[in-house]
Structure 1
Amino acid sequence: MSSEGRGGRAATTRGALEAALRAGRRALQLVAADGMDSYLVNEERQLAVERLLLRFGEALKAVPEDVLNAVDPAQDWIGPRRFRDLAAHWYTEGLDHRLIWRALRNELPQATNAIERFLQADEPSD
């Protein structure tokens, strides 16, 4: 059974973390074989990554701050949530994909790994 409601929003905090993990992992999969140059010339991939990072940030917005701090107190959780707002409302020149590339390589792997560890440690026992 899905932890997401009919509108696509997670109904629980755990569901929101799972949604963030899915979006983050998918974004990382899309760029796994890329270097920065190949990523920067692939507009379709950039658009897909934008959408996935938007989903990642939106899912994190549904997670209470104390839970995010329990996931990893050293992780910057504000950045992905702000990216969501920026990406959703950026209308003129577009996003700087060099900055997105750095986030994909430096920050997103740490965030998704922290979420995965938290979810595994918090799995309900049978």
Structure 2
Amino acid sequence: MKPTAALSLILALSASGAAFAQSGGAKTTEMKGMDMKAMPMDNMNSGSTAKTATHQATGVVKAVDTVKGTVTLAHGPVKTLNWPAMTMTFTVKDKMFFDKLAADKKVTIDFVKQGADYVVTSVK
């Protein structure tokens, strides 16, 4: 390639990249014309302010481990998560729930996802 052709190619690519950067890339052009002040921000996921969905499961207690703070439950389907019936272990952070959790007892629990864990928030 001739030096002038190479230089022309470099300048052309540099100019298109600079124009793209000035426009803010694809995200800015998609939002052009939108009034950000008029947009409701309460549904935006900021991590700490996002509402946590509560789910419910009914099943039979298979094991309780007060040392680890867990309960294993053979539960029916959980419609809100599209889960089939299964046996799984939940974290129990509130120790008073252990009074209601005994092996072979049928219970209904409410639970939420916290990080990688599913945490019991109520036991009936």
The structure number with the bigger radius of gyration is 2
Determine if the TM-score, normalized by the shorter chain, exceeds 0.5.
no
TM-score normalized by structure 2? 0.23
Q: Which structure is higher in RCO with an 8 Å CA cutoff and minimum separation 6?
A: 1
Which one has a larger percent strand, Structure 1 or Structure 2? 2
TM-score, structure 1 normalization = 0.23
